[in-house]
Amino acid sequence: MLKRALPWILLLSGWVALAAYICCLFLCAAPAEANTVSKVAATTAVAAAPAAATGVWNYSDGTRFTNSHQKYFGFKESSYDYEKPLGDDFTKSMKETSSYLVGHPDRQVKINGYYRDSEENTSILPNMGLARANTVKTYLQSLGVPAAQIATAGSPIGDKWFKDGVLTKGVDFAFNEKSASNERIPDIKSRLVGKPLTLYFQTNSNTLTLTEQQRSDFADMFYYLDNVDGSSLAVSGHTDNVGSRAYNVNLSSERAKFVKDYLVSKGGINGDKLKVSGSGPDRPISSNDTSAGRAKNRRVEVTLE
């Protein structure tokens, strides 16, 4: 009996062994394959992570317009001139942004410039962030964007985005609707139009030192010039009565021209909006009989008109 059943037992054992082998080969390998795929996906995800941290600059005006750059405007510490060259791709993208604004006069871009308090403010404006935003604004204007479509602001950011003495993320863009009404204009007009802002010089010196209030007033003047058609700045130079009149008239004209150039280079103003004159000793505001009075007469007056 056992002898007759033995072949069948051996055959059945073979089938069981074969089935176990097939199961191991095809079914048990599935988790390993899935695990391999998971590892590949995880590796891919890890490799992609640095790309998100490269500082790509993305900005948009809702669904109307989007743009992207591989870098931001960069600025050296205590400088409001952006680093050059910008590169062809960056320039192309900025031209696209400018074309969008020109084609949509109802829209406005707000440029927010960044800075840290420890930086030396070498500009004419209240802080380096505002000065940086103003420099980028001047660049957009050179690409055809009207000044009235550009607003500027400055924000402190501590040590953030500073690397090896360079602010790698200098400004950001935000878009909004250009308002038909502007409450800032009447306020500036009442405070500054027709009221000279007086800048003083030492004897035989063209050194110009601004107070914080004067920086703030200049920022308001620049805003007024950008947003009020026909507005301008009158820059008039004056001296004391020491020396010949011809010498002083020439000196006053040179100082007025110095201030004009200073405002153009450091404030980004269109030079055509500045009118220069020199009166020498003819319009004193104090007595020339004292050193204090003569110091007050050595001045340049900047008047918003």
For residue 211, what is the domain's CATH number?
Answer: 3.30.1330.60
Q: Does residue 148 form part of some domain? A: yes
Query: What is the predicted pLDDT for the residue at 18?
Result: 52
Query: Which residues face 105 on adjacent strands?
Result: none
Amino acid at 136: V
Pairing between β-strand 162-163 and β-strand 107-115 as defined by DSSP bridges: unpaired
DSSP 33: H
64 and 152 both lie in a single domain = yes
Q: Does residue 20 form part of some domain? A: no
pLDDT digits (tens, 9 = 90+) for 273-282: 999 999 999 9
Q: Does residue 215 form part of some domain? A: yes
267 and 296 both lie in a single domain = yes
Query: Which residues, 6+ apart, have CB-to-CB distance to 95 below 8 Å?
Result: 143
Q: Does residue 170 form part of some domain? A: yes
Query: What is the predicted pLDDT for the residue at 54?
Result: 42
Contact, 151 vs 37, CB < 8 A? no
10 sits in the region (left: phi over 0; alpha: psi -120 to 50; else beta) called: alpha
272 and 224 both lie in a single domain = yes
144 and 211 both lie in a single domain = no
138 and 225 both lie in a single domain = no
262 and 188 both lie in a single domain = yes
Range of the domain at 151: 57-177
Residue ranges in the chain modelled with pLDDT below 50: 2, 22-54
149 and 217 both lie in a single domain = no
Q: Does residue 166 form part of some domain? A: yes
Tokens of 166: 């360079």
289 and 188 both lie in a single domain = yes
User: How far is 137 from 158, CA to CA, in rounded Å?
Assistant: 23
Domain boundary among 127, 156, 177: 177
Contact, 94 vs 111, CB < 8 A? no
Q: What is the pTM of this model?
A: 0.76
Q: Does residue 118 form part of some domain? A: yes
Q: What are phi and psi of 55, to 5 degrees?
A: 85, 30
227 and 144 both lie in a single domain = no
User: How far is 131 from 126, CA to CA, in rounded Å?
Assistant: 8
Query: What is the predicted pLDDT for the residue at 33?
Result: 40
Q: Does residue 203 form part of some domain? A: yes
Query: What is the predicted pLDDT for the residue at 12?
Result: 54
151 and 256 both lie in a single domain = no
pLDDT digits (tens, 9 = 90+) for 88-142: 999 999 999 999 999 999 999 999 999 999 999 989 999 999 999 999 999 999 9
How many domains are there within the chain? 2
Query: What is the predicted pLDDT for the residue at 134?
Result: 95
Long-range contacts of 136-140 (CB under 8 A, 24+ apart): 136/73, 136/82, 136/111, 136/170, 136/171, 137/111, 137/268, 138/268, 139/82, 139/94, 140/94, 140/97, 140/98, 140/101, 140/109, 140/111
Query: What is the predicted pLDDT for the residue at 205?
Result: 57
192 and 297 both lie in a single domain = yes
Query: Which residues, 6+ apart, have CB-to-CB distance to 212 below 8 Å?
Result: 126
**CA distances (Å), origin 197, targets 154, 216, 305:** 23, 11, 12
Domain boundary among 155, 177, 199: 177
Q: Does residue 253 form part of some domain? A: yes
Domain boundary among 134, 150, 177: 177
258-286 burial, b at 16+ Cβ within 10 Å, e below that, comes to bbbebbeebbbbeeebbebebbbbeebee
92 and 166 both lie in a single domain = yes
